[in-house]
Amino acid sequence: MRRHAFVIRCGMFVMALMLCAVGVRAADAPADLAVLIREALEKNPEILASQARLEGARQRVPQAESLPDPMLSAGYQNMGFERYSYGEYEFSQWMFEASQTFPFPGKRSLRAEASRKESESLGATHESVRLKIVLRVKELYYDLLLGYRNLDLIRERTALAVRIEEAALARYATGSAGREEVMTGQAEKYLLLEREETERRRIEAIESGLNQVTGRPVNAPLGRPVLPAPTPFPADLEELVRKTETHSPELASRGRMLDAARARETLAKREALPDVTFTAGYANRAGGFRDMWSLSMGIPLPIYFGYKQKPGIAEASAGVSASRFELEGARTMLLSSVRENLAAVRSAERLMALYREGLIPKTRQDLDFTLAGYLGGKGDVAPLLTRLKALYDYEFAYWTQFTEREKAIARIDAVTGTGNGTQGDTGK
């Protein structure tokens, strides 16, 4: 009897140490979703890189719109090779020329328009990157929330398992239960301790991911997530489709790329039209010979039109077609994602109601009845542990559906371009 009591005390001591370790982490300042999102938007390397690319793209617009650099040339013309003949002969002279090329009207504006649309596309892409990072923070946050909630459930189940083990030992001491019943109760307790350690390791991995996406040091403490209220989500599919087509940054980016491709197609058709180069020259003479000046104009001859400009037009037209198909493909993919995630939201709501209003209270009532009987010396341990496991499974499934619903809403917000808040904005 003393040996069994010692085993109980040792087991409870080990459990207390492990639960205290969890309590130390949970004692940190609570992890706030809004703060994490704000930090990610300010420090995430992917967002910062996207911002830098956008700034670079904006600098291409004035480059595309500017004139070609003017040319300045200087030279000397000498009569014969015997000596420097400047001032002795009429055609011995120093020559200076300046030239400027003017693209055919419309080319510069088309180049600028194409570059501007490309920079606008990158601007929409940058917004899409921000939304995806916000989505990633939300997904990790709700995974962390589920991990801590699972720890709570495991600890509650472990406390009941300890009571069951104590009752089994008491019954074994009086001869009303066999050793197998005691070992079954102890095995359940140690199995739960193993699950607790596994869940703690999973929480560590999630916290590491959150620190990475928010730009924090890898070992920065996060604390336990604050449990938010379920996000209101009255939106229907028709409304979400409209928001996606109107506000989605990914569709906006594809649309701007299509506009840029059309501008480049128009530009390609104008490439055969000649640019004009004007040249002004001045010749300086000495020895009584009068100085000279000159004006000239030059244009390129598109004699290789079939090898240069014509294939360029075909290439630009193919680019327009590709951009159009990419836009349609992106629209189809995003609308499919919206429908899929909306179905996930509604399914999670139905399952949560089933667990909350039916399975969990019924199973808890059944467990309480069976536990009271077992503690009173009636029944066997196996049905009791079965009911204990069923209650844990249903409660864990409820919180799993809670987090899956929130993550599905976050994915819809990212697709529809309304995901900058701490909770879903769609339908509000």
> What is the residue extent of each domain of the chain?
2-67+103-271+308-416, 68-102+277-304
Cα–Cα distance for residue pair 33/137, rounded to 1 Å: 8
Map residue 77 onto helix, strand or coil.
strand
pLDDT digits (tens, 9 = 90+) for 216-240: 888 888 888 988 888 888 888 999 9
Cα–Cα distance for residue pair 256/289, rounded to 1 Å: 62
Residue 134 sits at the vertex; the CA angle it makes with 128 and 137, to the nearest 5 degrees, is 145
Quick one: 347 exposed, middle or buried, by C-beta within 10 A (0-12, 13-18, 19+)? middle
pLDDT digits (tens, 9 = 90+) for 323-335: 999 999 999 999 9
How does DSSP classify residue 357? I
**Which of 153-167, 386-400, 412-426 has the least mean pLDDT?**
412-426
pLDDT digits (tens, 9 = 90+) for 132-176: 999 999 999 999 999 999 999 988 888 887 777 777 777 666 666
Strand ranges for 12-145 from DSSP E: 71-77, 93-102
Cα–Cα distance for residue pair 273/256, rounded to 1 Å: 26
Location of structure tokens 């994602």: 337
Cα–Cα distance for residue pair 240/407, rounded to 1 Å: 16
Cα–Cα distance for residue pair 216/44, rounded to 1 Å: 9
Map residue 230 onto helix, strand or coil.
coil
In this model, does residue 390 exceed pLDDT 50? yes
The domain 2-67+103-271+308-416: what is its CATH number? 1.20.1600.10
Q: What is the mean pLDDT of residues 35-54?
A: 93
